[in-house]
Amino acid sequence: MEHYEDFLRSKNWIDKDLDARYININHPYAILISGDEGQITLRGNVGSDNGWKGEEIFSFESLKDLQEWFENNIGE
């Protein structure tokens, strides 16, 4: 999927378990990447599961959509 990894890393979101779940300790979200489906999902980051069981907040179909969400909602 495009260059989502580079974008997320540039915003200090990391995939510490190397399982396509990106977190940032300063935000209450987790970003899950599904390469097979080409989908990016923003979820609530619940406890220590890094968003695995968190409520789905938004789904993005492209990196551009994710970038726009960051600009409009996080200000980055």
Query: pLDDT tens, 4-56?
Result: 888 999 999 999 888 888 888 888 888 888 866 667 887 876 666 666 666 77
Domain that holds residue 21: 4-65
Is residue 17 one of the residues assigned to a domain? yes
pLDDT at 59: 84
Total domains in the chain come to: 1
DSSP state of 14: B
Is residue 70 one of the residues assigned to a domain? no
43 CB burial (10 A radius; 0-12, 13-18, 19+): buried
The pLDDT-based confidence of 1 (bands split at 50, 70, 90) is very low
Is residue 45 one of the residues assigned to a domain? yes
